[in-house]
Amino acid sequence: MRKPEIAFASAPLLGTRVEIDGLTYELVRADPYIRVSDGRPTYVLTWRGCCARCGGSFDVKTGLRAQTINKRCRTHRAPGRPATAAAKIRWARPKSGPTGR
C-alpha cells in the first residue's frame, strides 16, 4: 500500500506548509466535519497551491490523510498524467522495439 502524502492525527495550524513532488501547499482552512459512514468527527482541509503548468493559484480539499493531491488548477487538470519531473521519471515506461511502438 502506498504511504499517504498528507497524514495528520488532528487538524494542523493554518499556514502549515507541505511539499509534495516539489510543489508547496499552504493550509488556508480547516473545517470540522462529521463522517457519514461512522459519525466520527474529523476535518476537511483546504490547501492552496500553485499549478504545475501555469503557476496560477488554486485550492484543493483533502481529509486529514490523503495519498494524492491535485497538482494542477481546474483549467489545466489532467488526471493520470504526471505533473512534475520526478513523477515523469516514476511513470516512464520503456518503449518496445526500435521504433517505440
- Per-residue pLDDT of the chain (101 residues), as tens digits, is 566 688 999 999 999 999 988 889 999 999 999 999 999 999 999 999 999 888 899 999 999 999 888 888 888 877 666 666 555 444 444 555 555 55
CATH number at residue 54: 2.30.30
Alpha carbon distance 29, 13 (integer Å): 9
Instruction: Specify if 21 maps to a domain.
Output: yes
Look at residue 22 in the predicted model and tell me its pLDDT. 85
- Determine how many CB atoms are found less than 10 A away from the CB of residue 87: 15
Instruction: Specify if 85 maps to a domain.
Output: yes
Give the domain extent around 82: 6-89
Instruction: Specify if 69 maps to a domain.
Output: yes
Alpha carbon distance 33, 76 (integer Å): 29
Instruction: Specify if 98 maps to a domain.
Output: no
| Number of domains the chain is built from | 1
- Give counts: helices (H), strands (E), the chain: 1, 6
Instruction: Specify if 97 maps to a domain.
Output: no
- Determine how many CB atoms are found less than 10 A away from the CB of residue 75: 10
